[in-house]
Amino acid sequence: MAESACTSCGACCACFRVEFSVYEMAFAGGTVPDDLADEVNGNTWRMQGTGSVPIRCTALTGTVGEQVGCRIYPLRPAPCHELVEGSEGCRRARAKLGLPALE
């Protein structure tokens, strides 16, 4: 099986605001660590680093476009699960950062 382009990309983690339901927070029974997200309002939380420019999720490690990882990959919120390699969102993020389109 080929390695995912996501392990060398990270564009989505450096382009998009990541907001999700409070119920995804660890304190509310979810998986997202409490210290990596901030409350937007009573029902919505946002991954730290994705609420202002320049965007870079605090869970992202490494260098975008070279080699990256996610410190909380198995615990990440729904928006991160939903954005998949090669999707329209992926293409937009890569283009925004000047990375070539995936084959």
Give residue-wise pLDDT tens across range 68-81: 999 999 999 999 99
In which band, very low, low, confident or very high, does the pLDDT at 9 lie, cut at 50, 70 and 90? very high
pLDDT digits 0-9 by tens, 80-100: 999 999 999 999 999 999 999
**Residues 8-29, mean pLDDT to the nearest whole number:** 97
Rounded to two decimals, the pTM is: 0.91
Instruction: Check pLDDT > 50 for residue 48.
Output: yes
Whole-angstrom CA distances from 65 to 19, 44, 55, 68 are 23, 30, 15, 8
Q: 2 pLDDT band (50/70/90 cuts)?
A: low
What is the pLDDT, as a whole number, of residue 3? Answer: 67
**pLDDT over threshold 50, residue 1:** no
* pLDDT on residue 102: 87
